[in-house]
Amino acid sequence: MMKHSKVPCIKVSGAHQIQITTTELDQISANEKLVKITRGGICGSDIHYYQEGGIGNFSLKHPMILGHEVVGYLDKEKQAVALNPSKPCLQCKYCLEGKSNQCLNMRFFGSAMLTPHVDGGFAKYIVVRDDQVIPYDPQISSKVMVFAEPLAVAIHAINQAGSLIGKKVLITGAGPIGSLVVAACKQAGAVEIIASDIQESCRQSAVKMGATSTIKPLEDNTHYFQNKGYFDVTFEASGSNEAINFAIDATKATGTIIQIGMSKNNVSIPLTKFLAKEITYKGAFRFTEEFNIAVRWLELGLIDPLPLLSHEFPYQEAEKALQIASDKNVAIKVQLNFEE
């Protein structure tokens, strides 16, 4: 244990303030495991912390280790594992109702929601609770398995929508999450999957992940508004006010909109149109059992996420990786290699 007491990690302390430093490793209790991290994926929240020193209403109060998309192996057994970044309390009313993503005392990797902040997984070694450790077949590449966390978000979103068999589906915002929603919708039996994004590269990614066609948001798409809308279900993954309003217009009467994308600003919607069309509007936040499902989907090869992987860097080049990941004209999904 002592040989791992100080381990290299990636910390953010404010906007554009990234440091490769060391951290004291937590002592391991009876219900915890020591995991050697091999690979991590850079998420949109990591980019927000790097660019803005916070996300939404939560600002950094002190340095914090980034990262919640990580895989590795158990240090003693050499078993490959995916790490669920959610650490619910298991005791509050939501946990007891099976809604652990709404936990009142959630500790989520790399989050400044609480003070002291919850450190993330961008470190050579971390200590995690037993139930956060999901073993997987070591023959599966870590490049693939590190997509488990964003795929879990996508699967949770489609679960919020109910059955998609034979449905016509729209995804607004085709970044990594939106493109994984495309793949999940295809797996769930949607018959038509259309993705919308301003970026050409994102639209191309959506097609690679299974979209039947794409929409350019700045063009005339009003034909989707005819007869009170075209799509049975819309997954809104951008957080854009314009995209949300487009979703309300393009989703058919009595259809469903699942909101995945976040915005730090309030949005306005055409309330009369929304209620007159009797649209069901639901949020989709993180995941519960879907993380385990995502690991199994990737293990079975039901989804190939690698078309989304655009860049890889050794963890020592974290700042360069974050800069690249911040440029949506260049990057889709960026990963960090902790084995180098």
pLDDT digits (tens, 9 = 90+) for 33-61: 999 999 999 999 999 999 999 987 889 99
| Nearest Cα to Cα of residue 276 among 248, 306, 236, 310 | 248
Residue 163 burial by Cβ neighbours in a 10 Å radius (0-12, 13-18, 19+): exposed
What is the value of pTM for the model shown? Answer: 0.95
* Cα–Cα separations (whole angstroms), residue 328 to 12, 202, 324: 21, 8, 8
The whole-number average pLDDT for the span 6-18 is: 97
111: which DSSP letter? B
pLDDT digits (tens, 9 = 90+) for 216-228: 999 999 999 999 9
| pLDDT score of 75 | 74
Does residue 2 register a pLDDT over 50?
no
Name the CATH topology of 2-147+305-337.
Answer: Quinone Oxidoreductase; Chain A, domain 1 (3.90.180)
How much is the pLDDT for 90? 97
Domain spans of the chain, in order of start: 2-147+305-337, 151-283
What one-character DSSP code corresponds to residue 113? S
CATH superfamily of 151-283: NAD(P)-binding Rossmann-like Domain (3.40.50.720)
Residue 113's alpha-carbon distances to 15, 117, 126, 259, in angstroms, are 17, 7, 20, 21
Question: What does residue 162 show for φ and ψ, rounded to 5 degrees?
Answer: 85, -165
Q: What is the C-alpha separation between 6 and 190, in angstroms, rounded?
A: 49
